[in-house]
Structure 1
Amino acid sequence: MEAVIKSVKIAGMQAAVPPHRHSYVETPELFTQEEADKIYGSTGIHSRRILPKHLCASDMCIAAAETLLQRLEWDPASVDILIYVSQDSDYALPASACLMQSRLGLPSSAACLDVSLGCSGFVYGTWIASQLLNGSNGTRALVLCGDTSSRHLLPNDRGTLPLFGDAGVATALEFDESWPDSYAVFGTDGKGGQHIAVKAGGRRHPTIPDSAPRSGEEEAKLFKDSRLHLNGAAVFSFTLKVVPKLIKDTLALADIHADDIDMVVMHQANKFILEHLRKKAKIPEHKYLIDMQDFGNTSSASVPLAICHKLSSYFEDNESKKVMLGGFGVGWSWGCIVTDMLPSVAPELIEIPDDFEPLSLEQV
């Protein structure tokens, strides 16, 4: 599907990560130094940020949003839309976005909803919020993306443990009739859903026990099914099949060439995959951001996180940049957007303290 987004600009970005770092290099019981070197060489990941158990993805997003609102000097009452993109909701119900509305002080007239998407979630969330602004009297929106992917991992799974980290981001969107059009392309193929999945935890395979206690064998199976299953070979095959065409189609929709793009930021899956994509799309290295060394794969947060970590000074010259932002993965789901970007405040990264007050059903 193709979409033209009119009159909406990115006003700012803010990322929040935990201060706690974990590196597979420091787990000799799982990896030898030679194995660790090989993992780093292919993934580009050295360490990940791990959120303490008493905090959730929503808390990182709230920390990012509160900081961003202050830096933009936006009154929370002026925000009309909040989209929370996550596959780690605080509760089965209500939607986390409703609780975030109260915590952030947004007006009761605001439209707030959760979107359950992973790697493509930032692009989808930006598009949804933009279209809601265009179809309403709203003028400002927040797109909050965050996941605690590390909590889905088996503690001794050598295939996934080095890869996934935790992060939350906030992106501010603003209606501006003078802003140039943005262009987006999306796609879905549910046949790939089995290749990146957490089988248990939903209604199909609930973790809530039935009337009778589970056997030890059933509990062991549930423990494993509640963790991430990742088929790396299938992910790589899907990426090389779909994403180069996604880039090509988005450029065609925008009626531009790759040379017209100032910066490309794709979902930070791993270095090996991203390098293959860059070469296939013939994008110069200086126009292509790879930044996961200190964070790992952070799911829906990865694109804004990379921007906030590496491109803060890039936007300080007060010149608009034409950027391509893309996400691909779990679902299979993919999306890409070409937009002009000149944030009112430069993207920034903060660390969320351990004593941050968590979002609570009872306290909002």
Structure 2
Amino acid sequence: MLTGLFQDIKISGLSVAVPTEKVPVENFNDVFGEENVFKFKEMTGVQSVSRAKPNQTASDLGYEAAVDVFKNSTISKDSIGILIFVTQKPDYRVPSTAFVLHKRLGLSENCLCFDLNLACSGFIFGLQTLLSLLKSSTSNAALLITGDTSVKTLSPHDRTMIMLFGDSGSATLVEKAKTNSEIRLSFRTDGTRFKSIVTPSGGYRNRYAPKDRVAWSDGILRSDYDTHMKGMDVFGFSITDVPLLMKDFMAAQQTTPEYYDFFILHQANNYILKQLARKLKIPIEKIPVSLDRFGNNSSNSIPLVLSDHFGNGNHGFIKIFICGFGAGLSFACGDLLLDTAVINPLVETDAYYSEAY
């Protein structure tokens, strides 16, 4: 278990942007059958998913979140020395979308920018990277943006994914500051299962795959340009490897579930959340849920839950345990004391960067 420890650094702002469109899963009754949709809803807990407009990218949603977080913060854009964008749906193959965001936000030239290709663990992996760079540099403030529009690489025929994944973006401001609290993060990786969640084509390994959708072994029509998830492999990983990491982390920190006010967990599906609660003896009321209205939002799951449930700022300081897990396979967890006053309410937007076209 790789662990990062950060002192005298705090989260000073957090905003999340979601598209205005919410698609009820019942809209898929004609595609997959009413009984199949009902079973899906009962198993996953998803009632609707957030959907980006055709011209709206992950960076558009991340940008709107960033605009909102600066609007509600005293941190100036000129003080940002590090910008990391976590996404699996970049604007271009070249350059990194972080540079597009740097331009749009009007950040200083004295700024380190790059993308991280991560999904459901991406917020915590991105936070570790951001905090490490901030700690070792002369910069006093940094910006982490996450964004995914998962729908853009999903087959409309894939009942296992098209009703599950939603689209959104987030922006988190971090700054150096004297504080008595710590941010502690831990990580594990299992690259032997990299094919468990994969989009086989679209990069440079499988460049000439046909784009026509054909029936795969599970009977679902896909092309190699569609994201594919081996459901049972990912499920087994989520209820076996992930709780083990969480237990090991709490043992190392000498904490128990009673120590935390809330567990902000990746919103994989409702059944997995219940399994994690059962295996770690977490009271279910300590696990806020947003997937019922927004679906699985990949790297944005953790900030989306925070904005959705604590964006009114009325909770004061909360001790939270965070955990994300998914493609890679990658899994991460951690804990921190967070002031809910820095968490902003959800922003709804259909805006996109017209200059990019």
For this structure pair, what is the TM-score category when the shorter chain's length is used for normalisation? over 0.9
**C-alpha separation between the residues in 2 aligned to 1:34 and 1:305?**
30
CA contact (8 A) 1:251 1:338 kept: no
CA contact (8 A) 1:142 1:172 kept: yes
Distance 1:24 1:83, change over 3 A: same
Q: SS of the residue aligned with 1:294?
A: helix
Partner of 2:69: 68
**C-alpha separation between the residues in 2 aligned to 1:303 and 1:49?**
15
Partner of 1:312: 311
**C-alpha separation between the residues in 2 aligned to 1:237 and 1:28?**
28
User: For this pair of structures, how many residues does the alignment match?
Assistant: 349
Partner of 2:87: 86
Structure 1 residue 340 corresponds to structure 2 residue 340: no
Alignment of 1:132-171 (within 5 A): 132-171=133-172
**C-alpha deviations, 1:267-294, integer Å up to 9, x for none?**
1000001110011011112211222011
Partner of 1:206: 207
Single out whichever of 112-121 and 245-254 deviates more from structure 2.
245-254
**C-alpha separation between the residues in 2 aligned to 1:321 and 1:253?**
21
TM-score, normalised on structure 1?
0.91
TM-score, normalised on structure 2?
0.93
Alignment of 1:114-133 (within 5 A): 114-133=115-134
CA contact (8 A) 1:143 1:172 kept: yes
Alignment of 1:131-280 (within 5 A): 131-206=132-207, 218-220=210-212, 224-280=223-279
- State the Cα distance separating 1:177 from its structure 2 match: 2.9
**C-alpha separation between the residues in 2 aligned to 1:183 and 1:155?**
40
Structure 1 residue 20 corresponds to structure 2 residue 17: no
**C-alpha deviations, 1:41-85, integer Å up to 9, x for none?**
110111111111112100000000001101113321121111100
Amino acid at match of 2:314: E
Amino acid at match of 1:50: R
Partner of 1:358: 353
**C-alpha separation between the residues in 1 aligned to 2:238 and 2:354?**
36
Single out whichever of 73-82 and 279-288 deviates more from structure 2.
73-82
CA contact (8 A) 1:59 1:359 kept: no
Partner of 1:210: none
- State the Cα distance separating 1:231 from its structure 2 match: 1.1
CA contact (8 A) 2:187 2:333 kept: yes
CA contact (8 A) 2:311 2:340 kept: no
CA contact (8 A) 2:166 2:296 kept: yes
**C-alpha deviations, 1:185-212, integer Å up to 9, x for none?**
10100111111110000010126xxxxx
**C-alpha separation between the residues in 1 aligned to 2:47 and 2:308?**
16
CA contact (8 A) 2:55 2:352 kept: no
**C-alpha separation between the residues in 1 aligned to 2:7 and 2:248?**
19
Amino acid at match of 2:3: E
- Gaps of at least 5 residues in structure 1 are 208-213
Partner of 1:51: 52
Partner of 1:349: 346
**C-alpha separation between the residues in 2 aligned to 1:347 and 1:285?**
24
Partner of 2:113: 112
**C-alpha separation between the residues in 2 aligned to 1:304 and 1:342?**
14
**C-alpha separation between the residues in 2 aligned to 1:162 and 1:282?**
29
CA contact (8 A) 2:14 2:172 kept: yes
